[in-house]
Chains A and B, each alone.
Chain A
Amino acid sequence: MSVILDVQRLEKNFDGVRALADFSCSVQDGEILGLIGPNGAGKTTFFNIVSGFLAPESGEITFKGNGITRIPPHRITNLGISRTFQNLRLVRQISVLDNVLLFFQQQPGEKLRNVFFNWRLSQERENENRKKASSLLEEVGLAQKADNPAEELSYGQQKLLSLVCCLAAKSEVLLLDEPVAGIAPEMTERILETIRGLPAKSKTVILIEHNLNAVMQICDRVIFMDAGAKVSEGTPKEVRNDPRVIEAYIN
């Protein structure tokens, strides 16, 4: 296995509050890495920086050997890293299928030139994408909801949908921010099952999750963060038994 994403010495402050303090980690190709820690530990800030929504004060991020620090968010997705959001972002008014379609990269129909002068090409690709999107929805059991507006999905289904969106983007690295928080047990199982299947599709996953059982179940490796810094790192078992982690959770 090789390192797909390498993060060196990230530093980020918000009005004097240290959100990330000299945070480094490297992510292996095809692993599922869990980020845990109390609220305000800097986990989401880390996602925001890697996905390009925030710029760090210092530090370097390397994806497949290329520097991607301070690249705008849409470029990060183009390059192959996509994310979901803790507070669930989707276009609620358009259909479930359209949400997925939005995530395909390099669509000819997104160029005005093709919309007016090569409508056929954009339609052909659109139809191909539709098929791909439908089969992605099929795989996770959302196919019968494909034509409903996204807002009609249950909360759990919406989380599942945002995961499918990352797959449509063909991302190699998926940053999942609380994929199963606040979701009914059966749906949690379904989402975890989907995530567990990702390495087999040569995807790498970093996930933030407060549901420790879920993290322990599916992660190959876990990083425990507190106050913007890495406190403990290792297999789920090692981290769970780390006295510093136990102490932090008791406090």
Chain B
Amino acid sequence: MKAPETMEYLLHILILIGIYTILSVSLNLIAGYTGLLSIAHATFYGVGAYVVAIMALKLHSPFLVNIICAVLLSSLLGALVGIPSLRIRDDYFVIATFAFQVITFSILNNWVSFTGGPMGLPGIPQPTILGLEISSNIGFLALVGIMCALTLWVSSRIVRSPFGRVLKAIREDEVFAQAAGKNIASYKVLVFVIGAGMAAVAGVMYAHYISFIDPTSFTVMESIFIISIVIIGGAGSLWGPVTGAVVLVLLPELLRFVGLPSSVAANLRQIIYGGLLVAFMMWRPKGLLGEYAFHTGEGPE
């Protein structure tokens, strides 16, 4: 690769790391700190991407308006996913979020007139923020970096606050949190609202950056990938998901340099993720930097 190409490639990798950092940090609030293992996170990611894409393509509305709408709609859906967590727990909740994820995918895939169906939405324009058009990869990296920093700031505020203490109490023992006088229902719904809103920001970044979206980017596989980042990086720690995002985005890129044909490399990627996840679950369930291991075997009661 020539020098400018190498530069573009590095920027691309950094932007991807940024997007996955936002996704995993937001899921970490829900799954790592509150213990609500959700595999619907790609839904919020997708909703963010689709809202902003449709608005930019059909309404030509300004970027800031689009991103706010994307976040609000995704947060609303977040509340909807959070509500089942008030009645069902653990494995059953995972299944409920899975159902939600499948429904979203079907809608994106089948509502052709609105979402473009399997053909996706091409030609998403570059965003203009306050008269400044983000057209270069450097510009995108700066934007993603700002969003990452914002996400991390929100997340760290929450987990260092008494609000965050209640989240951890809910994760460890819901009954105890209730006995302490905490309305766990409202905490659970709120954490979904926040997490979903943040994930939508990642979707917005992705849609504008790649300029083309289709439903295959927001499948259950994507949700599982985000969970893998959280688990391998370390659930329930602030920097765990960041570490996870760096490792899991870089890892398949390294395979490129081994010189495998791309068809083999793509399959190998899935195998490596799977293998890593199993290995971490067995030998280091708390991940690289984590504080919390998801319950394996018997539940809390």
- The residue of chain A having its C-beta at the shortest distance from the C-beta of B173 within the complex is A89
Distance from B75 Cβ to chain A, minimum over Cβ atoms (Å): 12
Q: Does B132 contact A (CB under 8 A)?
A: no
CB under 8 Å from chain B, chain A span 95-153: 98, 101-103, 105, 107, 109-112, 115-116, 119, 122, 126
B165 in the interface, Cβ–Cβ < 8 Å?
yes
- Chain B residues with CB under 8 Å of A169's CB are 180-181
Q: Is the CB of B175 within 8 A of A89?
A: yes
Given A77-B180, A82-B181, A115-B158, do A98 and B172 touch, yes or no (CB 8 Å)?
A: no
A237 within 8 A of B: no
Q: Counting CB contacts under 8 A, is A51 at the interface?
A: yes
B161 touches A115 (CB 8 A): yes
C-alpha gap A94/B33 in the complex (Å): 12
Alpha-carbon gap, A122 to B172, bound state (A)? 24
Q: Pull 28 A–B residue pairs with CB atoms less than 8 Å apart, ordered by A.
A: A51-B179, A72-B183, A74-B181, A75-B183, A77-B178, A78-B181, A85-B175, A89-B179, A90-B173, A91-B168, A91-B173, A93-B172, A93-B291, A93-B292, A94-B169, A101-B165, A102-B165, A102-B180, A102-B182, A107-B162, A109-B161, A110-B161, A110-B182, A115-B158, A115-B163, A116-B154, A165-B180, A169-B181
Q: Say yes or no: A77 contacts B172, CB within 8 Å.
A: no
Asked if A83 is at the interface of the complex by the 8 Å CB criterion, the answer is yes
Interface residue A23 (Cβ < 8 Å from any Cβ of B) = no
A244 at the interface (CB under 8 A from B): no
Measured between beta carbons, the chain B residues less than 8 angstroms from A64 are none
Contacts of B183 in A (CB 8 A): 72, 74-75
Whole-angstrom distance between the Cβ of B161 and the nearest chain A Cβ: 4
What's the minimum C-beta distance from B87 to chain A, rounded to whole angstroms? 14
Contact of A115 with B157 in the complex, beta carbons under 8 Å: yes
Judge if B246 is at the interface, Cβ distance under 8 Å: no
Which residues 278-301 of B have a CB within 8 angstroms of A? 291-292
Given A78-B181, A110-B182, CB of A91 within 8 Å of CB of B169: yes
Residue of A nearest to B153 (CB): A116
For B163, the chain A residues whose CB sits under 8 A away are 109-112, 115
Query: Which residues of chain A (158-177) have a CB below 8 Å from chain B?
Result: 165, 169
Chain B residues positioned under 8 Å from A107 (CB to CB): 162
A74 touches B178 (CB 8 A): yes
**Residues of the B chain whose Cβ atoms lie less than 8 Å from the Cβ of A93:** 168, 172, 291-292
Contact with A along B55-92 (1 / 0, CB 8 A): 00000000000000000000000000000000000000
B255 within 8 A of A: no
The binding surface of chain B is classed by DSSP as helix
> A89 CA to B168 CA in the complex, in Å?
14
Residue of B154, B161, B182 contacting most chain A CB atoms (<10 Å): B161
> Chain B contacts of A102 at CB under 8 A?
165-166, 169, 177, 180, 182
A residues in contact with B180, CB < 8 Å: 74, 77, 102-103, 165, 169
Closest to B187 in A: A110
Contact between chains at A122 and B161 (CB < 8 Å): yes
- By a CB distance below 8 angstroms, the chain A residues around B169 are 91, 94, 102
Inter-chain contact B176/A122, CB cutoff 8 Å? no
A122 vs B163: C-alpha distance in the bound complex, in angstroms?
10
Q: In angstroms, how far is the closest chain A Cβ from the Cβ of B89?
A: 15
Is A73 interfacial (CB-CB < 8 Å)?
yes
In the assembled complex, which residues on chain B have CB atoms less than 8 Å from the CB atom of A92?
Answer: 172
Q: Decide: B165 and A83 in contact? CB cutoff 8 A.
A: no
**Among residues 125 to 183 in chain B, which have CB atoms less than 8 Å away from a CB atom of chain A?**
154, 157-158, 161-163, 165-166, 168-169, 172-173, 175-183
Give the complex CA separation of A82 and B179 in angstroms.
7
Query: Hey, which chain A residues are within 8 Å of B178, CB to CB?
Result: 53, 72-74, 77
